[in-house]
A = this chain, B = another copy of it.
Amino acid sequence: MLKNTIYVDLKKRSYYIYIGKNFLKTREIKNLFSINTKHILIMDQVVQKLLSKEFFSDFPIFKKKTNVIVLKEGENYKNLHTVEKIISILLKKKCNRDTTLIALGGGVIGDITGFVASIYQRGISFIQIPTTLLAQVDSSIGGKTGVNHILGKNMIGSFWQPLGVFINLEFLKYLPKKQILSGISEIIKYSIIFDKKFFIWLEKNIFSLLNLEEKALQYCIYKCCCFKTKIIESDEMENSQRALLNLGHSFAHVIETFMGYGSWLHGYAVSAGIIYSAYVSYILNFLSKDILFRIISIFKKIKLPLRGPNNLNALKYVELLKYDKKNSHGNICLILPHNLENVKIHKSIDSKIIIQAIEKSHKNNF
């Protein structure tokens, strides 16, 4: 039974986010999976092993008819080489523009599949079935697709909206705890950007989330999908406000690029990144000490990292931040929290301040 449905209003590219299970009960959804369409299911080896059963119970029609492409697992394979590999398989299967790709997996699978869909024969349809908490609250929604380049994360990509997003909470049972933590990091991010009350709720209830209590999970996933939907509807192509969602991400991408893709989980890097951003904001007198500490505390409570790797120093951060997509005219752009529910885009932050903030945060022992 469908418990929650969110409409993402993007005119011709509008779609629904469905939260629940046994999805194939309505005609609209059945149409998406029409037998007249060629479907190609893309997943990784881990998902294939653990979640195929859960998937087929949601979408029994695929048991017989779907073509499957199984990729190696991990952020390390999110590159143009894998894209070319998938395209070769699609061509060999004589897939035309009437093909729909189905991304069954976490952010990596969703990002690659969406990107392939956007460039295969100048664009075909795809459907997101996110299987990690991070993908369910964030990466599967909003049409950002892409792959990594050795010089920077998600440097190659497109905006390409899915036909629909199907979120089944059952998948989360199979996730390792660190993957749950990685997703919670993005949930905290939403609360800082959009909703002080939600932040307070998280301060109190974060362990219910970590323990996958159904009510808490459902509440948080629905809430985050709504936040994301609202901002995408007003700024699909990230010309302005959508950039707020990148709170902590400039630093996070530096960590992920520097350490080699996949060695730090995205949400872990985002946790450290948000704390660095908060310190920059604190040093610039935008953020109070009290809120800085509450932001640090909530991540600390569930043992998310409060800093990046030891071998990455402040100077190196600044050097690598120069590759960030959001920069322009050689200036470093950062998203800074001024308060809970009050986050701002700063287009030109002085390198010295960033260095100072990182070093200060490293000195503080929490």
- A interface residue numbers (CB < 8 A to B): 36, 80, 83-84, 87-88, 91-92, 94, 96-98, 115, 118-123, 144, 146, 149, 151-152, 154-159, 237-238, 322-330
Contact = CB atoms under 8 A, between A and B. Distances in A.
A158 B158 contact: yes
Nearest to A92: B151
A249 B106 CA distance: 39
A91 to B, nearest CB: 4
Q: Which 3 A-B residue pairs are closest in the complex by CB-CB distance? A: A98-B328, A91-B151, A121-B325
- Copies of this chain, tallied across the complex: 2
Contacts of A123: 158-159, 237
Contacts of A98: 328-329
**Which residue among A96, A155, A158 has the maximum number of chain B CB atoms within 10 Å of its CB?**
A96
Nearest to A143: B122
17 contacts: A36-B329, A80-B83, A87-B155, A87-B156, A91-B155, A94-B323, A94-B330, A96-B324, A96-B327, A96-B328, A98-B328, A98-B329, A119-B119, A122-B154, A122-B158, A123-B158, A123-B159
A96 B88 CA distance: 30
Contact of A120 (B155, B323, B330): B155
B149 A87 contact: yes
Contact of A122 (B120, B159, B322): B159
A98 B328 CA distance: 6
A120 B237 CA distance: 14
A326 to B, nearest CB: 8
A11 to B, nearest CB: 11
A325 B96 contact: yes
A157 B116 CA distance: 10
B149 A91 contact: yes
A122 B87 contact: no
A84 to B, nearest CB: 5
Contacts of A122: 144, 146, 154, 157-159, 238, 325
A325 B96 CA distance: 6
Contacts of A327: 96
B329 A97 contact: no
Contacts of A323: 91, 94
Nearest to A84: B80
Nearest to A38: B329
A149 B237 CA distance: 28
Contact of A158 (B88, B119, B149, B330): B119
Contacts of A154: 122
A120 B328 contact: no
Contacts of A151: 88, 91-92
A234 to B, nearest CB: 15
A156 B120 contact: yes
A235 to B, nearest CB: 13
A151 B151 CA distance: 30
Given A84-B80, A149-B88, A151-B92, A119 B325 contact: no
A119 B156 contact: yes
